[in-house]
Structure formats: structure tokens, C-alpha cells
């Protein structure tokens, strides 16, 4: 789900594009000839706004743009507060209903008892009619309370379903699409387009099946067909892979989770201090029980805020450093 902000500063146009994913925040910022791209990994107990404030400050984003972004988060908070108010209102209604149910059952039981007791006194067969009246009151009270519960919750569920209906993903009939040949770049573009149009709280990981292969049902309309071969995706980094690399996303997700947990607890990356390749140090992760076994594939920590990659980085030469 992406959000775009634009500000016109005289002859200079300032653009900020934010993409919120489950694990990270994608940022693309331009101001005149300046262009910055970043991926912020959400591996600390901070709000999305707190992550962004650091980026905005470091890149000298204009005050007008900052105000626009803060306004956006304020509106989001208001929206979340509205949901909380709905929940508390529902809770109060539920408590009130419990009181009504209790009073209803109590009155029915009391009425049944009194009627039975009066009849017993009249016909002198105590406690037969008293017991019958009491149990009849319990039964009538229970049926009355049950019908009230059914009526209330049925209407509540219908209202909730009507509100949530727009957020449901449309089911695509893949039988009407032909089998086509596509490249991994075609898949990447389709996944991005699909992700940009997802409702709030739904992430692109819904495309990933248990074996990390991509479910083409939702991508078929964007691709114009069903790919003839499988592609695979990491649920943690969203990297894409072909059939020959299908083992990589499985191990990548395991290692990325371990790295995230390590950083969260140790406040540093699991790698040797002067390693120019920034290799993930499996020994550290194994020693602290973040990994159960060492992966066969070597992963590297990128500059994108803790995300890992299987691609070996090039060593920096003296002229680059």
C-alpha cells in the first residue's frame, strides 16, 4: 500500500513516496535533482512515524512536506481511535445485554416459582407445582435470552460484513487465462502493482504459498495469463527467485528472522566487525540459539537497514572507500 506526497517549492518539485509493508517501509524521495531511496526495516518497538522522522531529518526534507506526512499519520491515528471507540461501544452494549439477559432470566424464574407456589398452596400438593413453575421459568427465560442474543449478534455480524466487504480480494477465474512465458522482471512488476492496490492490513505475502511459490491467481489479470513456470518469493524480504533457486527463500526467511531477533536483543548486526562483505555470522546466531542449524547458503547483510541478501557484494577498492 503506497502513499504519495507532492509539494511545489517555487521551481522545485518535492515528491515523497511511502510504501508500508509488514516488515519494512519503502521510501522514494526526490527534490529537484536529488533522489533518495531507502528501505527501513521495522525491527524495533517504534511507530512508523518515528522511523520516518529520522529519514526526514537526515535528508533535509522541507517543513511543508514534514507537516503533510505528520498530518497523514494524525489522520491514521484518528481512524484507529475510531475503531477503538467502536470496540468499546460494542463492549458496553455487550455488558448491558448481559445485565438484560440476567434480569430476564431472573424475572422468569421468580415468576414461575411464585405461580407454582401459589398453586401448591391452593391445591396442597407442595412442592410439585413449585418445582414445575421454577423449571418452566428457567426454560422460558433461557429461550427468551437466546432469541435476544441471536437477534442482536446476527444484526451486528451483518453490519460488520457489509463494512468489510470492500476489503475482500476479488476471486479470479484463472481458467480463462492462457499459459504464457514471463520473465522474473515481469513477475516483479506484477507483484508491485498488486501490492500497491491492496487494502490496508493486507500484504503481498498472501501471494506466497507454503512452498514459497507464488500463487498466480491474483497476478493473472496483471500478467495477462498464467506463467508456464514457477517463481518463488521470500516472505521476509520479498525477493523473487526462479525454479533453480527455490531453496534460497526458505533459508533466507529463517536467517532473516534470526537476524531481526538478534538485532532486537543485541542492538547490533550478527557479523564480524571488520568483515568487508558483511557476511551473516552463523556462529553468533547458533551460540545464542537464534538458529537451530547453520544454513548451506551464505547470506550477507545489506545497507538497507538489516535486510539480508544471497548475492555476494563486491569488495570495495581503496578508491571507493
More confident site: 77 or 189 = 189
Cβ-contact 259, 308 below 8 angstroms: yes
Torsion of CA 293, 295, 296, 302, to 10 degrees: -160
What percentage of residues in the chain have a pLDDT greater than 90?
28
- pLDDT attached to residue 316: 59
Residue 135: other Cβ atoms inside 10 A: 14
- pLDDT attached to residue 318: 46
The whole-angstrom distance between residue 161's C-alpha and the CA centroid of its chain comes to 19
Domain map (residue ranges) of the chain: 2-61, 84-167, 172-233, 253-321
pLDDT at 75 over 90: no
For the ranges 11-25, 70-84, 179-193, 233-247, the lowest mean pLDDT is seen at: 70-84
Strands 231-233 and 240-242: antiparallel
Kindly give, in sequence order, each residue whose CB lies less than 8 Å from that of residue 51, ignoring residues fewer than 6 positions away.
25, 40, 42
Tens digits of residue pLDDT in 88-117: 776 777 777 778 778 888 888 888 888 888
Nearest CA-CA partner of 129 in 141, 140, 115:
115
Tens digits of residue pLDDT in 52-61: 888 888 888 8
Helix, strand, coil percent values for the chain (each to nearest 5): 50, 15, 35
pLDDT at 62 over 60: yes
- pLDDT attached to residue 46: 81
Angle between helix 48-58 and helix 63-123 axes, rounded to 10 deg: 170
Nearest CA-CA partner of 191 in 208, 173, 210, 204:
204
User: Average per-residue pLDDT in the chain?
Assistant: 83
Kindly give, in sequence order, each residue whose CB lies less than 8 Å from that of residue 36, ignoring residues fewer than 6 positions away.
27, 28, 29, 30, 59
- pLDDT attached to residue 319: 45
- pLDDT attached to residue 7: 80
Kindly state the average pLDDT of the residues 60-83: 78
Cβ-contact 250, 212 below 8 angstroms: yes
The whole-angstrom distance between residue 192's C-alpha and the CA centroid of its chain comes to 17
- pLDDT attached to residue 18: 86
Tens digits of residue pLDDT in 241-280: 999 999 999 999 999 999 999 998 988 999 998 899 999 9
- pLDDT attached to residue 78: 67
Global pTM reads 0.55
Tens digits of residue pLDDT in 4-34: 888 876 666 888 888 887 777 888 888 877 8
Residue keyed to cell 562483505:
277
* pLDDT bucket at 165, cuts 50 / 70 / 90: very low
Distance between CA 52 and CA 54 in Å, rounded? Answer: 5
More confident site: 45 or 113 = 113
Cβ-contact 307, 314 below 8 angstroms: no
| Total residues belonging to the chain | 321
More confident site: 142 or 8 = 142
Q: Tell me how far apart the 2 most distant CA atoms of the chain are, in Å.
A: 111
More confident site: 91 or 234 = 234
Amino acid at each position: 500500500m503506497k502513499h504519495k506526497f507532492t509539494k511545489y517549492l517555487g521551481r522545485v518539485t518535492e515528491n515523497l513516496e511511502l510504501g508500508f509493508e509488514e516488515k519494512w517501509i519503502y521510501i522514494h524521495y526526490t527534490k529537484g535533482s536529488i533522489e533518495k531511496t531507502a528501505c527501513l526495516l521495522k525491527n524495533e518497538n517504534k511507530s512508523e512515524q518515528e522511523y520516518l522522522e529520522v529519514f526526514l531529518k537526515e535528508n533535509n526534507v522541507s517543513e511543508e512536506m514534514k507537516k503533510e506526512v505528520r498530518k497523514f499519520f494524525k489522520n491514521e491515528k484518528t481512524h484507529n481511535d475510531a475503531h477503538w471507540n467502536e470496540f468499546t461501544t460494542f463492549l458496553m452494549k455487550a455488558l448491558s445485554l448481559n445485565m438484560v439477559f440476567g434480569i430476564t432470566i431472573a424475572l422468569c424464574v421468580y415468576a414461575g416459582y411464585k405461580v407454582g407456589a401459589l398453586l401448591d398452596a391452593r391445591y396442597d400438593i407442595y412442592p410439585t407445582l413449585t418445582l414445575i413453575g421454577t423449571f418452566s421459568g428457567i426454560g422460558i427465560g433461557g429461550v427468551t435470552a437466546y432469541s435476544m442474543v441471536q437477534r442482536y449478534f446476527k444484526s451486528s455480524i451483518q453490519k460488520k460484513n457489509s463494512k468489510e466487504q470492500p476489503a475482500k480480494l476479488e476471486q479470479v477465474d484463472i481458467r480463462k487465462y492462457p499459459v504464457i512465458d514471463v520473465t522474473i522482471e515481469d513477475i516483479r512488476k506484477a507483484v508491485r502493482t498488486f501490492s500497491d492496490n491492496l487494502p490496508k492490513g493486507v500484504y503481498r505475502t498472501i501471494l506466497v504459498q507454503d512452498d514459497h511459490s507464488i500463487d498466480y491467481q491474483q497476478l493473472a489479470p496483471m500478467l495477462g495469463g498464467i506463467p508456464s513456470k514457477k517463481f518463488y518469493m521470500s516472505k521476509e524480504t520479498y525477493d523473487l527467485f526462479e525454479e533453480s533457486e527455490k531453496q534460497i527463500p526458505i533459508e533466507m526467511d529463517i536467517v532473516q528472522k534470526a537476524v531481526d531477533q538478534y538485532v532486537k536483543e543485541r542492538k547490533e548486526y550478527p557479523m564480524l566487525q571488520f568483515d568487508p562483505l558483511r557476511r551473516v555470522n552463523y556462529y553468533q546466531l547458533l551460540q545464542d540459539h537464534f538458529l537451530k542449524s547453520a544454513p548451506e547458503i551464505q547470506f550477507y547483510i545489506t545497507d538497507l537497514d538489516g535486510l539480508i541478501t544471497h548475492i555476494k557484494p563486491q569488495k570495495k577498492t581503496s578508491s571507493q572507500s
